[in-house]
Amino acid sequence: MLKPINNEQYITCFNTFCKYSKEYESHKKIRLNTLNSIEHNYSILEVGCGSGSFTANILENSIKKPNLYTAFEPLKVFADQTKSRLRTLDFKTEVINDKFSYKTNLQRKYDVIILVHSIYSFENDLVETLRNIINHLNENGKAIIFVQTPHNSGLMTIYFAEYLEGQTDVSHTLDCWTVEDALRKLNAEYTLYYAEGDLAVTNASDKEITDIISFILQAEYYSAPVYLQKRMLDFFHLSEKTWGHVSALTLALCFLLSK
pLDDT digits (tens, 9 = 90+) for 83-98: 999 988 889 999 999 9
Closest CA to 145 of 39, 47, 79, 216: 47
| CA 164 – CA 53 distance, rounded (Å) | 29
Q: Which of 20-24, 61-65, 140-144, 153-157 has the weakest average pLDDT?
A: 153-157
Superfamily of domain 7-258: Vaccinia Virus protein VP39 (3.40.50.150)
Q: Rounded CA gap, 205 and 226, in Å? A: 19
Rounded to two decimals, what is the model's pTM?
0.83
Identify which has the larger pLDDT, 15 or 251: 15
Name the band, by pLDDT with cuts 50, 70 and 90, for residue 251: very low
DSSP bridge pairs for 137: 110
Higher pLDDT, 39 or 249: 39
* pLDDT in the model for residue 121: 86
Q: What pLDDT is recorded for position 197?
A: 67
Kindly list the domain boundaries of the chain, sorted by start residue. 7-258
